[in-house]
Structure 1
Amino acid sequence: MAARGSGDEPIVRVRGLRNAFGEAVIHEHLDLDVRRGEILGVVGGSGTGKSVLMRSIIGLQVPTAGEITVFDLPTIGREETEMAEISKRWGVLFQGGALFSTLTVAENVQVPLKEFYPALDQALLDQISSFKVVMTGLPPDAGPKYPAELSGGMRKRAGLARALALDPDLLFLDEPTAGLDPIGAAAFDELTKSLQRTLGLTVFLITHDLDTLYAICDRVAVLADKRVIAIGTIDELLATDHPWIAEYFKGPRGRAAVATQGRQGAGSGSVAAEARVES
């Protein structure tokens, strides 16, 4: 299925972003475009502010300077009600799933629905949540379960189901494969790519997983020196001479990721499919 809109059209535009906590400056003069319909991977060393950048875009972190537009609408300084209307069009999967432990999976998925559409009756809420649960590869009987009854991979999928509850155009994923074994991580990557194609999503994906970058990302943005120092395909990044990029992509783990993707290409993801429920 084609993405919603033209491929080069930026759905997120960041210019001159500055984030600081006291005297600690995390971002300075940071620019970034996220193109409509792409999966953009965001990488960087510890402390480069990958999650801070995401939180700035979705309005949970107020920058000290700069401009951010999402869907061609400025987001910084907007009234809460105006921001709510914009945020209905994106979904967020935080690290670990960030589920409410006292709610079932189905009830977690229904939280954004109840927030934005309080008039929906319970039967319809149950129907929507059941559909989202199955959509993310969970078994139908996962809905009545509590997060503590699920494996780590299943909790991530439940968090993804909640992120998709409002049929968003834009999906934010913060380290979605962290803590998963290689088979579970590959299965989650395959799920992400499938959903992106089927639903026409734009995906902003923070990760340190080189396999994920090679498997599903259209472009990769590299954070270093308090800004985006490079953005492009992996081949384009490999052509740069920045020492961190060279170490990250050309080191032993980078070479291993290339070899892994070569082997998986012949198998068309069958191993990942086997791990759909168990991960």
Structure 2
Amino acid sequence: MAARRSHDDPIVRVRGLSNAFGDAVIHENLDLDVRQGEILGVVGGSGTGKSVLMRSIIGLQVPTAGEIRVFDLPTIGREEGDMAEISKRWGVLFQGGALFSTLTVAENVQVPLKEFYRGLDQALLDQISSFKVVMTGLPVDAGPKYPAELSGGMKKRAGLARALALDPDLLFLDEPTAGLDPIGAAAFDELTRSLQKTLGLTVFLITHDLDTLYAICDRVAVLADKRVIAIGTIDELLATDHPWIAEYFGGPRGRAAIASKDRGTQSGGTETSGARVES
């Protein structure tokens, strides 16, 4: 049984991370903590390595230097079997859903179940996958359909159902609202927050959607200059003097997102101790 953790304990801890592809250095001495139970938004300009950071944490990218601990366990250099025991405690929604096109939605959801729990009865697999499909807001009759028969928003929900198949503690979302219309994006944001509260998830959310950041993120980490330059609530980030942060959150689209939040969202949030800005 896993040891109990306090709310403020980092469920993901990254220290001194470096990633390079040939001569192109993407990250250099990057530090990041993801607190248990929070939705952490990750933003940055094009080429700052948001997806590379996520792939490093989940073991799909081998860093050139640094340490990564998830659930207080080191992940870099672990044996495959040991890594599998850790990875079944997280779920990943890649961009676009990344569904297997030759499998139905239900069969896609069953892939991780079959991988980690061999020998499960097919009736039980069907029952679990049906539950996960409905949990993510899809109709039950979406299960037998193939990805080509789904809309873009439905594909993302199907991908989310697969990410939740193993009842993870930690959920990675890579641009989950990209390509969705504003109504669909808002509905996915609401679903994410609802699932996070209901299931007690910690969410690592890569996005460029300012509405998403304002609507559901407890804190935001900003990637620039090959590292995390600041992390905190949006209000705390706006109090900093970094020009990229000021332009990103204080520009016309940022002001529109603030106005939208003020009109339609409830006040509240998690207690923080102020934004940390790297010099």
TM class by smaller structure: over 0.9
Which structure has more relative contact order (CA 8 Å, sep 6+)? It is 1
SS for the counterpart of 1:138 is coil
1:274 is matched with none
Structure 1 counterpart of 2:11, which letter?
A: I
Instruction: State the shift of 1:262 in Å.
Output: 1.7
2:40 is matched with 40
Instruction: State the shift of 1:265 in Å.
Output: 2.2
- CA distance in structure 2 between the aligned counterparts of 1:264 and 1:80, rounded to whole angstroms: 47
- CA distance in structure 1 between the aligned counterparts of 2:135 and 2:160, rounded to whole angstroms: 10
- CA distance in structure 2 between the aligned counterparts of 1:33 and 1:208, rounded to whole angstroms: 20
- CA distance in structure 2 between the aligned counterparts of 1:178 and 1:192, rounded to whole angstroms: 14
1:58 is matched with 58
Instruction: State the shift of 1:149 in Å.
Output: 0.3
Structure 1 counterpart of 2:170, which letter?
A: L
| TM-score (norm. length: structure 1) | 0.93
Structure 1 stretches lacking a partner, 5+ long: 267-279
Q: Residue 256 in 1 paired to residue 277 in 2?
A: no
- CA distance in structure 1 between the aligned counterparts of 2:209 and 2:114, rounded to whole angstroms: 34
- CA distance in structure 2 between the aligned counterparts of 1:59 and 1:189, rounded to whole angstroms: 26
1:173·1:205 contact (CA, 8 Å) conserved in 2?
yes
- CA distance in structure 2 between the aligned counterparts of 1:203 and 1:66, rounded to whole angstroms: 22
1:16 is matched with 16
2:269 is matched with none
1:5·1:37 contact (CA, 8 Å) conserved in 2?
no
2:240 is matched with 240
2:215·2:265 contact (CA, 8 Å) conserved in 1?
no
2:13·2:68 contact (CA, 8 Å) conserved in 1?
yes
Q: Residue 200 in 1 paired to residue 200 in 2?
A: yes
Q: Residue 7 in 1 paired to residue 14 in 2?
A: no
1:112 is matched with 112
Structure 2 stretches lacking a partner, 5+ long: 267-279
Q: Deviations over 1:89-129 (max 9, x none)?
A: 00000000000000000000000000000110100000000
- CA distance in structure 1 between the aligned counterparts of 2:232 and 2:6, rounded to whole angstroms: 18
SS for the counterpart of 1:91 is strand
Structure 2 counterpart of 1:252, which letter?
A: P
Instruction: State the shift of 1:5 in Å.
Output: 4.1
Which portions of structure 1, spanning 4 or more consecutive aligned residues, are displaced by more than 3 angstroms? none
Instruction: State the shift of 1:42 in Å.
Output: 0.1
- CA distance in structure 2 between the aligned counterparts of 1:87 and 1:189, rounded to whole angstroms: 24
2:152·2:180 contact (CA, 8 Å) conserved in 1?
yes
Q: Structure 1 vs Structure 2: percent identity of aligned residues?
A: 91
SS for the counterpart of 2:95 is coil
Structure 2 counterpart of 1:59, which letter?
A: G
